[in-house]
Structure 1
Amino acid sequence: MRKRTIAFAIASLCIIPLLYSVIATVVIRLTGFGIVKKLNRTGIALTFDDGPHPVFTEKLLDLLKKYNVRATFFVVGEKAKMHPALLKRMHAEGHQIGIHHLQHTSSWRLTPGRLKKQLVETEQIIHDITGVRPFLYRPPWGFMNAATIPLARSRNYRIIIWSHHFKDWKVASCETILLEGLRQVPEDGSIILLHDDGTNPSADDEAPDVMLSKLQIYLEEATAKGIPFILPILN
């Protein structure tokens, strides 16, 4: 009996964290419960994670302005606080700004209280800089936990995931598959995931620079074809 109790306790210690983190993410992503993976509108939504970066985000904003494209930036709170001028420019030029945690931290490692802190503090930083409260949220890596949906709903956030990504956080992927991947995206409410900062774990520092070179070619072609670019959700 004692052995069974010990075995049950050990199993619980292993299963409960998985249910809270990995399994919760898998269920949410598969069912689409509480998240947006695709839009019911014509056009393509360009979204950028992990910034702002003092060099690459500036270049990206210049590129988007050149082609009159509005995009959505899911910013890391601490980086936003370091580079407020970039957020002010995003806002002034009609881009949307969303939450991507205070640090680039996986929700799998966060208790409900720590997750709330990541969200609330990033929301406040964005509001202090732009005067607008963000209502879009994308968790880093798309990792969620059992508290993600209830917390998002309590703060009236919309969780935006993506329909397409091309591993642009790696230079090799940018060089080989990014441009062709973008060219094949249909105008069917697709949400494209890209990155304007390469300093986070598992990313290549110079990947955003290569991404920008491919994105410029794509935007030139898309503009010629009249492909519309849209913001995911209007408040």
Structure 2
Amino acid sequence: MIKIVIISLIVIFILFLLYAILPTVLIRINSWGITKKTNLKAIALTFDDGPNPEYTPQLLDLLKKNGVKATFFVVGSKVKKYPDIIKRMNQEGHTIGIHHFEHTSSWILSPLQLKKQLLLTEQAIMECTNEKVRFYRPPWGSFNLFSLLISKSYKVILWSHIFGDWKEAKGKSGLLKQLLAATEPGSILLLHDCGETLGADKEAPRYMLKSLEIYLQENIKKGTKFVTLTDL
């Protein structure tokens, strides 16, 4: 009996390795079907996990104040809850992409479940914008064996810089220094405007916004250009 259990666990692990972990590693290392940087002499700011009713409007205010456009990878279920925020994003010239209907890893989704996550989120966004959705970023940057096939109608975007800003501790100490160092043209920066997902701190976006404000002020003075992924 114990031997059967051990063999079963080994089989499950191998299947999980082949279905989830190995595809993610290979796709990310080889950049198969994904974009980590742009060929533009500008920086693309991207924000995941929203919209959040408290922090996303504050972020939109900050971007508007500085004349900066960004890209938001949104969670479909939150789009349904806060459609006015999505409409504002669109009206103010930001790009909106898919980040699953629920913040669920592709590792635990079947091909049909993954397709449903994409379609439901696209539908929710289009109900607010009346525009085709062109971009997709999987939560945690996780892929499965069928991810690239199922998402082939979108441009899959990862990042060149990730900061760990979903934790308050990073926002309080270290985030600003890392942001100020992220000035290479073509960079895609990943930040978060919601701290309600697994592993995140609820108040983390508060500190992200403080660092981002300084980062924008410093880089605008230097003449740094910021673009949305639509400019690709």
The offset of 1:15, in angstroms, is: 0.7
Cα offset, 1:12, TM superposition: 3.3
Counterpart code for 1:142: G
Residue deviations 1:144-192, cap 9 Å, x none? 1111100111xx1000000001100001111111111111113320000
Deviating more after overlay: 65-74 vs 127-136: 127-136
Q: CA deviation at 1:7?
A: 8.0
Output the CA distance in 2 between the equivalents of 1:183 and 1:136.
26
Change (3 A) 1:218 1:15: same
Distance 1:112 1:222 in 2: 42
Q: Alpha-carbon deviation of 1:16?
A: 1.4
Question: What aligned pairs does 1:98-109 form with structure 2 within 5 A after superposition?
Answer: 98-109=97-108
Distance in 1, Cα, partners of 2:59 & 2:6: 54
Structure 1 residue aligned with 2:131? 132
Query: In structure 1, how many angstroms separate the alpha carbons of the residues matched to 2:45 and 2:70?
Result: 5
* Superposed displacement of residue 5, structure 1: 10
Say which SS state the counterpart of residue 151 (structure 2) adopts. helix
Matches of 2:6 and 2:60, distance apart in 1: 56
TM-score between both structures, scaled by the size of structure 1: 0.94
Over 3 Å counting, the alpha-carbon distance change for 1:170 and 1:7 in structure 2 is closer
- In the alignment, residue 58 of structure 1 is paired with which amino acid? P
Contact conserved, 1:187 with 1:227, CA < 8 A, in 2? Answer: no
* TM-score normalised per structure 2: 0.95
1:194 matched to which residue of 2? 191
Measured against aligned partners, the alpha-carbon deviations of 1:76-116 in whole angstroms (never above 9, x if no partner) come to 00001100010000000000000000000011010000000
Counterpart of 1:144? 143
Structure 1 residue 14, shift from structure 2 partner? 2.1
Q: Do structure 1's residue 81 and structure 2's residue 80 form an aligned pair?
A: yes
Aligned to 1:17: 16
Between the aligned partners of 1:90 and 1:230, the Cα distance in structure 2 is 14
Percentage of matched positions with identical amino acids: 50
Determine the C-alpha separation between the residues in 1 that align with 2:203 and 2:9.
44
8 Å contact kept, 1:41–1:189: yes
Unaligned runs of 5+ in 1: none
Question: 1:15-74 deviations in whole A, cap 9, x for unaligned?
Answer: 112111011100100000000011111111000000000010000000000000000000
Structure 2 counterpart of 1:104, which letter? Answer: H
Q: Equivalent residue of 1:47, what SS? A: strand
Which structure 2 residue ranges, 5 or more long, are not aligned?
none
8 Å CA contact 2:69, 2:228 repeated in 1: yes
Closer, same or farther: CA 219–17 of 1 in aligned 2, 3 Å: same
Tell me the equivalent position of 1:31.
30
Instruction: Give, in whole Å, the separation in 1 of the partners of 2:132 and 2:200.
Output: 29
| The one of 223, 226, 232 aligned to 2:223 | 226
Distance 2:175 2:135 in 1: 25
RMSD after superposition: 1.7
Whole-Å separation in 1 of the counterparts to 2:210 and 2:104: 28
Report how far residue 9 of structure 1 moved. 6.4
CA distance in 2, matches of 1:196, 1:7: 43
1:210 to 200, 207, 223: 207
Q: Which amino acid aligns with 1:56?
A: Y
- The 5-angstrom pairing of residues 109-128 of structure 1 reads 109-128=108-127
AA aligned opposite 2:17: L
